[in-house]
Amino acid sequence: MHPPAQSIRERFPDAVTGVKEAFGELTVSVRKDRIVEVCRALRDDPAWAFNFLSDVSSVDYPDAEERFEVNYHLYSIDKCHRVRLKARVSEDDCRIESVTSVWAGANFMEREVYDLMGIEFVNHPDLRRILLTDDFDGFPLRKDYPTEGRGWRNTFEFLPTTEGPVS
């Protein structure tokens, strides 16, 4: 097993739900209620020193019991190694603790996930839409979102088409 994965599993035996290594990349699945604790340990422990959160993203698995997955991509600048943390979130309780207390840079990344997928980050300092307007209905990156939108495109005036090349 990958050394950081073994260390994480030993330190948080009840938090780690799975470990996978593929193509030289380490992925550790963590229970959502322990995500901040695990992230803080990965950042603060000099053996790991994951001092850079490079991305927070999410995936929608509509047929899964825990429909959403929040992904955290961590990097250690000093040690030059990476790890991906995954935490599953159900549609019924679509919330996970914010990691902005660990990495302030998570602020805009979590807002983007909230805006496009509807996953709420508890204790986020400024959780509001970042890309879409406040009155936008729905979360467009969810797999059940209509590909043609929700009718608002029909309200635009369209330019008339021309035949032949436009001069």
The tokens describing 21, both together, are: 């290594």
Domain ranges in the chain are 3-139
CB of 103 within 8 A of CB of 73?
no
Mean pLDDT of 140-156: 72
Q: Which of 39-43, 143-147, 159-163 has the lowest mean pLDDT?
A: 159-163
Number of residues assigned to the chain: 167
- Give the pairing of strands 81-89 and 25-30: parallel
What pTM value is reported for the model?
0.86
Class of domain 3-139: alpha beta
Which tens digits make up the pLDDT trace of 92-135?
999 999 999 999 999 999 999 999 999 999 999 999 999 999 99
